């Protein structure tokens, strides 16, 4: 499965009001592994960034003057993204800007060439209800080193988000062994059959059980008492 973790920097917050993309950073994951086949462009937005946006990304208007316009990179971007699942933090924001750039060129929306879009912010809110779920907060929570992130940058943020996404979905890891690590046909992967192992069952200790109850209480509070375990316990009482 091919996934592209994508981030953009922009001149401001509203694509509909004429703000433009100034930087695109893409990181490729193949079967949940970083490939190094990344895509990165600075883009001349043909307008100045808002002062507040400059404070966020630090990319000066002068720096962008000689960079290619979006029209010049559109074909490369489309072919790079084609058929992949996009992973974006707060996806509606970036997708709105990408689709608006495509609209200016008379091209179909970017969503028409990809397999789908996953919003990692929505995932994070479901996993950590009531918590801060910005990229920095998730890096801290999941042990991803973000010490080099002093300003927002599309490629750096995409690389950090790739690590965050892999950590958030670690329970979805396929039990596969690369052909380079195990016998098998070249380029193939072998499924690991867990039935050959005697797997121990480790019971939670008292401290772990209390921590688990704390998480359940947070989820119950965030859902205003509509959690499944509350309804089931009420039905069996």
Within 10 A of 110 (CB to CB), how many other CB atoms are there? 23
User: CA neighbours within 13 Å on the CB side: how many for 235?
Assistant: 6
Kindly state the DSSP code that residue 226 receives in the 8-state scheme: -
Q: Active-site positions?
A: 152
Name the pairing type of β-strands 2-10 and 85-88.
parallel
- In which residue are the tokens 């990179």 written? 73
Q: Read out DSSP for 19-38?
A: --EEEEEEEEEETTEE-S--
Paired sense of beta strands 39-42 and 189-191, if any: unpaired
């Amino acid at each position: 499965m091919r996934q592209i973790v994508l981030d953009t920097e922009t001149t401001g917050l509203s694509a509909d009001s004429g703000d433009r993309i100034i930087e695109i950073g893409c990181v490729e994951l193949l079967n949940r592994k970083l490939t190094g086949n990344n895509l990165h462009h600075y883009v001349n937005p043909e307008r100045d960034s808002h002062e507040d946006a400059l404070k966020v990304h630090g990319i000066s208007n002068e720096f962008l003057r000689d960079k290619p316009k979006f029209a010049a990179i559109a074909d490369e971007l489309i072919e790079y993204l084609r058929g992949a699942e996009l992973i974006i933090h707060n996806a509606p924001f970036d997708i709105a800007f990408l689709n608006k750039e495509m609209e200016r060129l008379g091209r179909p929306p970017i969503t028409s060439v990809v397999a789908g879009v996953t919003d990692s912010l929505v995932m994070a809110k479901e996993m950590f209800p009531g918590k801060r779920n910005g990229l920095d907060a998730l890096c801290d929570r999941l042990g991803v080193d973000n010490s080099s992130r002093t300003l927002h940058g599309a490629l750096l943020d995409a690389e950090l988000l790739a690590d965050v996404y892999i950590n958030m979905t670690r329970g979805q890891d396929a039990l596969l062994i690369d052909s380079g690590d195990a016998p098998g046909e070249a380029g193939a992967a072998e499924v690991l059959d867990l039935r050959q192992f005697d797997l121990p069952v480790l019971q939670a200790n008292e401290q772990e059980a209390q921590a688990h109850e704390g998480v359940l209480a947070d989820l119950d509070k965030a859902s205003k008492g509509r959690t499944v375990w509350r309804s089931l316990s009420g039905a069996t009482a």
